[in-house]
Structure 1
Amino acid sequence: MREFKIYSDKNILKGIHYEANSQNKKNGIILMCHGFAGVQNLFFPKYAEKFSLEGFDVITFDYNGFGESEGETQIIPTNQMRDISNVILYLRKNEDFKDKQLYLWGTSLGGLYVLKLAATLPEISGVYAQITFSDGLRNNTSLLDLEGKEKYLNQLENIRYKEISENKRLLLPLKKLLSDSQSKTFLDRYKEEFSMLLSTKLSLATISDINELSIDSYLDKINVPVLLLKANNDIVNLPQEMDFIYKTLKCNKKLLEYDCGHYDVYENEVFLSSITEQIKWFSKEK
């Protein structure tokens, strides 16, 4: 395990390289990209340790403003995708990595990021994406009726208006932004171990930025193998979104399904089962 740093948007971005087990070293790097307000030390170490034991070099990192990386703590999707692209450039130019196959691994919001990058970057050899979505507005409003959707959009528009007219940003802690029952349970479980994460405050306008995200038109442009994981009881990123992604992809694809909630994929039986499938998939000739 070695720490490294690069500069992204003039800020120091910190990451960790989990070195491949020399006994069964494979010609692959897995670059792991976390999701909404995540940090690399939350769930990634146990994934990375298993991947590296199987012979893969694994790279994790914190986006600008999160974890140990410098910068303002805010979620701007284009900036976070640029962070990923900058890490990819670093790996391509690094003598230790440049001739290896590069796989992207993304969870939740990070899953959308890696799918979009796979459609635009020729150096990607394969993608794993779990519990993600393809269209932010559709994902966030599909359970609302017409009146509820209009009210929701008006509230966000008014918040955005305050930002541009009065330079006032409404900052809320994660527990206010992630208010669904699955997120509340998750945040409560890790409130002591990752107290700094829970104290993170983000602009409510962040939700507007995510609503504007859509990779619907990118999915059929992906021509590398894709492995997907869907949580059938997910109420954060709806399972219908994973179905849409799987149906729209035209490449070599596979879908894993588990009867669990959004955060259950990181723990216990679902974690053990799914990572076994991931290792098989990454190890298979593409």
Structure 2
Amino acid sequence: MDISTHKLSNGIVLTLRSPTGGTKNPLIILCHGFCGIRDILLPDFAEAFTHTGYSTITFDYRGFGDSDGERGRLVPTQQIDDIHSVVNWAKEQSTLDAQRIGLWGTSFGGCHVFGAAVNDPAIKCIVSQLAFADGEDIVTGKMSATEKEAFISTLNKMVDKQKRTGKEMFVGINRVLSDAESTLFFEENRALHPKMDIKIPFLTVRETLLYKPALNAAQVTCPTLIVIAGQDKVNPPAQGRALFDAVRSQQKRLYEESDARHYDIYTGEHFKRVIAVQTEWFRKHL
């Protein structure tokens, strides 16, 4: 396997993996989740795909990992633009097949792949795992109507203050992604991966609340595989099913790892089963 690191003109840093000696390889671009960096979780998937004959790219969104940009600023439309920049770079590489590009995304990245694929004929197929359809439901779904109204009012006041003063509140990732699974995951990994130990704007919550990936999914016509975890408490499986229902493509599949939680799919037997399903999808459609 050949591995190289590149920095794009816009400051995005990526890692390209290719089968040794391969030319004009089909490409899978892997898009990370909430505040993720390319050094964690993604390499096992990327290497598994590369061992089966695909070139793969993992990358850091702007403001995260090794990429340039304001630290911790997470805006879905900007991250989708970052995916576009990676796709455009890949199209210019002589060792890659610009006509055979697939997108793979996990969690937040599993939402972004739909926006990135809309109106881009170079994207031949999609794999989206552990994603959500409606950010408002994710953020406020467990609140009463009164609680939701008060919460949204607070966020709007914070936006007004930011516009007036240029100041805003930055918090640890676990203040925003505060479920038990995510708290444990970030606590365990921030020491191992110091680049993950950053502050992010609390208004990231509002960005998530306003994000409706199902609207982009409804415009996607390329073959789409959606993977859900039956015990996912971060992005519940109903959200993945809603994405599946929204996708326009006639070639779509929903795969459920029924006894898995959100972070289980990255390791062990869950990983083995999921990577086999995903590899077969790419083999068929890419």
2-structure distance, mates of 1:88, 1:115:
14
1:120 equivalent in alignment to 2:122: no
**1:226 corresponding residue in structure 2:** 224
Match of 1:45 among 25, 37, 43: 43
- Change in 2 beyond 3 A, CA 1:221/1:167: closer
**2:54 corresponding residue in structure 1:** 56
1:192-219: per-residue Cα shift (whole Å, max 9, x none)?
Answer: 2113312x10111111112111133332
**1:7 corresponding residue in structure 2:** 9
1:122 partner amino acid: P
Q: Which consecutive unaligned segments of at least 5 residues does structure 2 have? A: none
**2:213 corresponding residue in structure 1:** 215
8 Å contact 2:107–2:132 — kept in the other structure?
Answer: yes
Trace 1:36-115 onto structure 2 (pairs within 5 A): 36-73=34-71, 74-115=73-114
1-structure distance, mates of 2:148, 2:91:
44
1:86-112: per-residue Cα shift (whole Å, max 9, x none)?
Answer: 111111122222444000011111111
The residue matched to 1:216 in structure 2 has which SS? helix
After TM superposition, what 4+ stretches of structure 1 lie above 4 angstroms from structure 2?
A: none
1:227 partner amino acid: L
TM-score, normalization: structure 2?
A: 0.92
**2:145 corresponding residue in structure 1:** 146
Give the number of aligned pairs: 281
1:65-87: per-residue Cα shift (whole Å, max 9, x none)?
Answer: 11111111211222111111111
1:23-82: per-residue Cα shift (whole Å, max 9, x none)?
Answer: 8x8852000110111000011111111111110000111111111111112112221111
**1:282 corresponding residue in structure 2:** 282
2-structure distance, mates of 1:275, 1:100:
23
**1:167 corresponding residue in structure 2:** 166
Q: Which consecutive unaligned segments of at least 5 residues does structure 1 have? A: none
Structure 1, 200-209 or 216-225: larger mean CA deviation: 216-225
- Change in 2 beyond 3 A, CA 1:106/1:229: same
- Change in 2 beyond 3 A, CA 1:261/1:278: same
Question: Identity over the aligned pairs, expressed in percent?
Answer: 29
8 Å contact 2:62–2:69 — kept in the other structure?
Answer: yes
2:154 partner amino acid: Q
8 Å contact 2:125–2:285 — kept in the other structure?
Answer: no
8 Å contact 1:26–1:55 — kept in the other structure?
Answer: no
2-structure distance, mates of 1:285, 1:182:
33
TM-score, normalization: structure 1?
A: 0.92
1:285, distance to aligned residue in structure 2 (A): 4.6
1:22, distance to aligned residue in structure 2 (A): 5.1
Trace 1:175-254 onto structure 2 (pairs within 5 A): 175-198=174-197, 200-251=198-249, 252-254=251-253
Structure 1, 211-220 or 68-77: larger mean CA deviation: 211-220
